[in-house]
A and B are shown apart, each in its own frame.
Chain A
Amino acid sequence: MTDTVVEAPVIKARNLAKSFGKFQALKGVSFEIPLGRIVGVIGANGAGKTTMLNAVLGLSSYDGQLSVLGLDPSKKRDALMKDVCFISDVATLPKWMKVSEVLDFVESVHPKFDRPKALDFLSRTKIPQDRKVRALSKGMVVQLHLAVVMSIDAKLLVLDEPTLGLDIMFRKQFYQSLLEEYFDESRTVIITTHQVEEIEHILTDVIFLKDGDIVVEAQMDTLTQQFIELQVAPGKEKEALALNPISTGSSFGKSTCVYKNQDHETLANLGETRRLGLADIFVATMTGEPQ
């Protein structure tokens, strides 16, 4: 297949905003997401993650400009869903349906659904096809949903808290199969989750949301290079503080400082340095002074 037309971004948002009454859930954000990325959208509860994703998926109205795969999601949700897939919450599969009936339904309404592929995914699980969704365990429901979604040849997959309430074994497996069997350069995946540590190694890009605003939009590599945590050597505290750390703290009796965009060698002279994990970067960005 030659995909020459895919140079345009998958999502293009200009001043995307949404209010619920007086509450501004999304305060005019602009961003672009190209093809072939795995983007983590990270923010505290109520930061606007789901609001943003619902707009992208055509599930809600919005102000501002938004184009997903060249379509206006609020007007063309049905056309958009040929190339976009999402799991917006755990347990949205119809509970009264049998597993095989779910597959039947998707097969007959979705032109890009590959049933043999879904059956292959399911054969690796313990899900019985004649069972009703209601009778499956929580983990099985997610496995089924994922099997369905990963068998749809979509360009954009949106996962909003896909693993909420599942045990760690399953979550690991989930992200592994997502990475190994689904993702490639012709697709983009957007994930939101609270378990940041579990997805940081698969992300290529991150977006941090705070109170309806994008505070960070960066590639993972760039971002992790920007933030350095310094364990200040005894006696160097003053010098360390003079370099404007974005946050300070202490661990094991030593004071620690987190820096953004600070020269690595300068810091190395003041103590031990290490890269920050995404969760720490998130916390540092949210609690630290505005850059």
Chain B
Amino acid sequence: MKTFAALIKREVLDGKNGYILVPLILTGITLALVVLSSLGVGNILHFDGMAENGITNLADALNQTVQQEPGEMAAGVTLLYWTTGLSWIALPFVIFFSLLGTLYEERRDRSILFWKAMPVADWQEVLAKLFTPLVLAPLMFLAVAIAAQLFTALFLSLIMIFQGGPVLELWPLGLMISSWFAFMAHYLLWALWALPVLAWLLFVSSFAGRMPFLWAILTPVVLVVVEGMFLKSSIVGNWLGTHLGGWQDHATTRLDHDIDGPRDILNIVIGDIQWDSLTYSIASAQFWLGIIIAAGFIFGAIEMRKRAI
């Protein structure tokens, strides 16, 4: 366990640009925009053209919302905070390039000869190199996102104190925490579905003599094209689409329900979607087939790591 922790720490240090700097910078930009739009542009502080409703600033707007829609406030605020989580769009890229580079770079810069002088088994190395981008990277991104949400809540609370708006309503902590867990749970399920594709990247990283990027991308592209040309079908393409997120279409049939307000959205996102997705996945043969294929690629990566110098 101590060894595994050390391996993961090393992976984080190696990829700290992607794991730490990218979410920090992107979130920093988002928060800067939030602050600037509130203070500088003034659209949140002082609303033009809504004065006839008695709303002159954000505090008025929130006060009215609390009065008119008391049940929607908490959910609305929670969803609002998630809009600062823009850095999530970078996460797939971080995961992609981490998996593709990790076993390739150590061979390229010869540091593999140093790692191999340590009493660490190749399977431990490979699993650490899979675990870090897959599980630790989203946790880092989530940590930054949480910090951003708390910052936004604090910032808005300060404005409310000055403007005389509702402060307590800006802290729906229970819902916020639930949403954090829901996000991570849904991500993990997404990662399990995508695992055959992600493990393929790791496998490419373990054997490609050069240009792992081309290997990773061109192989599936060629498969899709060849299949389309000769078999006039698109099984590979559909399979990839399903595993990279398309499965959610089938898993989330309840989204067709009437949605009336943020509370309904949040209830679905936190509760129903998670449960539906899980039961759908566990019952899906394709899900399990994907896991088996992923295991094959991971095994292949370990075997290649054993032979690599």
Contact = CB atoms under 8 A, between A and B. Distances in A.
Interface stretch (B4-12, B139-147, B152-160, B277-285): B4-12
B110 A97 contact: no
B118 A60 contact: no
Contacts of A96: 13-14
B309 interface: yes
A101 interface: yes
Contacts of A106: 118
A145 B106 CA distance: 17
A105 B6 contact: yes
A59 B3 contact: no
B307 A60 contact: yes
A92 B113 contact: yes
Interface in B103-141: 106, 109-114, 116-122, 124
Contact of A109 (B7, B109, B111, B306): B7
Nearest to A86: B117
The B interface, classified by DSSP as helix, strand, loop or mixed, is helix
Contacts of B112: 92
B309 A59 contact: yes
Contacts of B232: none
Nearest to B16: A96
Contacts of B111: 92-95
Contact of A89 (B5, B10, B113, B119): B113
A164 interface: no
A109 B13 contact: no
B2 interface: yes
Interface centre among A58, A81, A85, A149 (most CB of B within 10 A): A81
Counting chain B residues whose Cβ lies within 8 A of the other chain, the interface size class is 20 to 34
A101 B2 CA distance: 15
Contact of B6 (A57, A60, A85, A109): A109
Contacts of B309: 54, 59-60
A272 B9 CA distance: 65
A108 interface: yes
A110 B13 contact: no
A101 B13 contact: yes
A60 B124 CA distance: 18
Interface in B1-58: 2-3, 5-7, 9-10, 13-14
A27 interface: no
A88 interface: yes
A215 interface: no
B128 to A, nearest CB: 11
Interface residues of A, number: 34
B307 A81 contact: no
Given A108-B2, A108-B3, A109-B6, A92 B119 contact: no
Contacts of B124: 78
A88 B113 contact: yes
Nearest to B7: A109
A61 to B, nearest CB: 7
Contacts of A89: 110, 113
Given A54-B309, A109-B3, A109-B7, A81 B113 contact: no
Contacts of A59: 113, 116, 309
Given A54-B309, A60-B307, A105 B10 contact: yes
B110 A81 contact: no
Contacts of A86: 113, 117
A79 interface: yes
A111 interface: yes
A21 to B, nearest CB: 15
A29 interface: no
A253 B306 CA distance: 57
A171 interface: no
Interface in A71-117: 77-82, 85-89, 91-97, 101, 104-106, 108-111
Give 3 closest A-B pairs by Cβ, nearest first. A108-B6, A78-B121, A81-B119
